Amino acid sequence: MALFGQFIGTWDLRVRFFDRDGAVVSDEAGVWSFGWVLDGRAVQDVLIYPRAGEDHVGARSIGTSLRRYDQVTDTWSVIWIGAVSGTQIALTARAAGDGILLEGPDVDGSPLRWTFTDITPESFHWQGRIQDTDGTWRLEQDMRARRRPEVS
């Protein structure tokens, strides 16, 4: 449970999206909050980032993931739900070196690869890549996270 349990808490983000040519098309602040659910048997997160100049409900991009550990396969089943986009994506996650690798199909069937790297107690780096029809992996999204100090 430690693989995703290490993220429990709230993280401030820099969220960037890229076009097919690798140019930044969006660069925004965001918040990613992780917590235990289902009596500690799963980890759920909520990811929120405002669209440029907008931070009110309805003008935000928001989604959630539910992550459940499978002891038999030593992997995690992950479901991402994009509340604004209407997307739902199923992924399988596992430890990969010092990071975490999530893989599964995008809504159009294209292979996705999401990674958590450079993980420390205070920060991590997340990237989302999609495989193009020619087999190359293209960066779609990049997030840098810093743990928000706990308020006592």
CA 45, chain centre distance (Å): 9
Establish how many alpha carbons lie within 13 A of residue 95's alpha carbon, considering only the half-sphere containing its beta carbon: 13
In a domain, 136, yes or no: yes
| Between 63 and 55, the higher pLDDT residue | 63
Give pLDDT tens digits for 87-132: 999 999 999 999 999 999 999 999 999 999 999 999 999 999 999 9
User: Is 81 a member of any domain?
Assistant: yes
The answer to whether residue 152 is domain-embedded is no
Which domain, by its residues, includes 90? 2-147
List the structure tokens of 137: 């992996």
CATH number of domain containing 31: 2.40.128.20
Q: How far is Cα 25 from Cα 63, in angstroms, rounded to an integer?
A: 20
**Domains in the chain: how many in total?**
1
